[in-house]
Amino acid sequence: MRFRKIHGAGNDFILLSNLGLDYDNDWSKEAERLCARRTGVGADGLVISRLINDSPAVLEVACFNADSSVATMCGNALRCSAWAAHRDHGFQQMSLRMAGVVHEAVVSDESVWVTAEVGAVLPRRLQAVINGRPTWFDSAHTGTEHVVAIVDDVDAIDAVMVGRLVRHHIDLAPLGTNVNFVQSTGQQALKLRTYERGVEAETLSCGSGAVAAVVVATMRGLVARRAVTVHNRAGEPLTVRPHDARPNRTHWVGGPVTHTFEGVLA
């Protein structure tokens, strides 16, 4: 079976498209095996994309985290799937359905954009002590669970240690959460680090986390309601901007997609 290894601004995936009859495999279990960094292909997640309709273009996309759990929303996986559908079928615009939610996607020369739906935003959801300082986390649902703390210096944080602690916080059980640390780096610019549930590690970038970071940073007055550059550990920033027609509910997240290699699964 052929696969693509592909990353969206450093968030890397094994992408299977055009599976045909193999579609009904136990992909959740396969995700754990294939995503293993030493014994598998190695990735943050496994993405299965299936063409449902040609005109208008509609794809069904499923994303499994490296620990085999289902991601109900993954901005970077959607962006990678849209890139591949553009490459395979020539679509420039399309709809991508993930966990029952329809996302719009637009592929241009340098960037791939997808929409993310913003749900409940709850200020001061929990507090944790970071480097001796009590720090609040707001929560923002962007298709999946995210909490966001605004801090002075994201690089001074042990993102894995604090991320793991907050991810398992009793107040957020049983679902847990992705954990984001955000720093303001100027007008309309943020720096973000994300500990991802399901990968159980810090990833190099996170699309739905970038949207959650911008929603919280906007609420807290750090940025205005227009395009925001979100820097990440990959050095390949994402841009988040409100959707023209539904600015309060929907955001676009865009940035680079890189096709690293193709291979055949043994």
Ligand X SMILES: N[C@H](CCC[C@H](N)C(=O)O)C(=O)O
Q: Which residues are catalytic?
A: 74, 206
Residue 65 annotated as lining a ligand binding site: yes
Site string for ligand X, 72-111 (x = CB under 6 A): --xxx-----------------------------------
> Which CB, 183 or 208, lies closer to ligand X?
208
Contact status: 139 vs ligand X (CB under 6 A): no
Q: Sign (positive/negative) of CA torsion 169, 195, 192, 103? A: negative
| 178 labelled ligand-binding | yes
Q: Which residues ranging from 158 to 217 are in contact with ligand X (CB under 6 A)? A: 178, 196-199, 203, 206-208
Residue 71 sits in the site that holds ligand X (CB under 6 A) = yes
In the structure encoding, which two tokens stand for residue 13, read together? 């995936």
Least distance to ligand X, CB of residue 198, Å: 4
Q: Which stretch binds ligand X (CB under 6 A): 70-78, 93-101, 103-111, 182-190?
A: 70-78
Tell whether 232 is in a known binding site.
Answer: no
- State yes or no: 208 annotated in a binding site: yes
Using rule CB under 6 A, residue 118 touches ligand X: no
Residue 242 contacts ligand X per CB under 6 A: no
Does 53 count as an annotated binding residue? no
What's phi and psi for 187, nearest 5 deg?
A: -65, 125
Q: How many residues bind ligand X (CB under 6 A)?
A: 17
256 binds ligand X (CB under 6 A): no
| Sites of contact with ligand X (CB under 6 A) | 11, 65, 69, 71, 74-76, 144, 178, 196-199, 203, 206-208
Binding-site residues from annotation for substrate: 11, 65, 75-76, 178, 196-197, 207-208
